[in-house]
Amino acid sequence: MVRVPAVAGRFYPEDKESLEEELNLMFPTVIEKTKAIGAIVPHAGYMYSGKVAGAVYARLLPKSTYIIISPNHTGVGSRFSLSEDLWQTPMGTVSINRELLDRISDEAGILEVDPTAHAAEHSIEVQLPFLQRISPGFDIVPLTVRIGNVPELKKIAESIAKAINDIEADAMIIASSDMSHYESRETTEYKDKIAIDRILDLDAEGLIKVVEEKNISMCGYIPSAIMLLCAKNLGAKTAELVEYSDSGYVSGETDQVVGYAGVIVS
């Protein structure tokens, strides 16, 4: 089966030439690359968050496999949903790393293969053209998460790390997430800094706590927590905020913005 694009022509251009031209505008010229274990990358329309995403991807040394963990905006499907389908974009088709997917699934015991959770969900899809620009020939393990408790998230993270180590996979974990939604720029920056501080401390449980206690509308905080837990299991020591912005710098509207943070964990 092939998972066809759900937001091509809306979040990003639907033809290859226009998409490649837009991606070129979003990638800064970077000399130093980072051998990252994980990253947090936004997933809004490219006109809003593409430059933050490009700033992250421009820094990454390519990997063979990307485990992309996203929130489930639609509410459809299982709580922890894997996809076994090929993923199509205007730039070509992306395959699944079945060996790694199966090992993670077997080890975790709580993941389900559920294409319905992925069919209309945009937050993995929008990452793929960026990856196609930096990593020709890569494959993915797509996981979308609706809700979960800390023990479950730890189990998933441990399973990912163990699977990567067991088969010596050349893999990176990407958490797809925007930050605060539809508050003033002042409030957004204040709340997002609280969450980002926890991320930079590699404090997954602290991130979950502040997001829930401070009512921070970071849609991908659970995927980000899984990524942080997994990265620490794989030996991560530091996290760097590559770039931060919000939608108001494009729309001109500062009363209600969406925040975007790009983070590299290594």
Evaluate if residue 205 carries a pLDDT over 90. Answer: yes
Rg (CA), the chain: 17
Strand 92-96 with 181-183, pairing? unpaired
Overall average pLDDT of the 171-177 stretch: 98
Domains of the chain (ranges, CATH numbers): 2-265 (3.40.830.10)
* pLDDT greater than 90 at residue 193: yes
CB 52 within 8 A of CB 27: no
Choose among 221, 195, 208, 213: nearest CA to 71: 221
- Per residue in 80-120, pLDDT tens? 999 999 999 999 999 999 999 999 999 999 999 999 999 99
Spatial CA neighbour of 218 closest among 244, 239, 253, 238? 244
Cα separation of 257 and 240, whole Å? 23
Q: Are 265 and 59 in contact (CB under 8 A)?
A: no
What pLDDT does residue 29 have? 85
- The closest alpha carbon to 224, from 35, 57, 41, belongs to 41
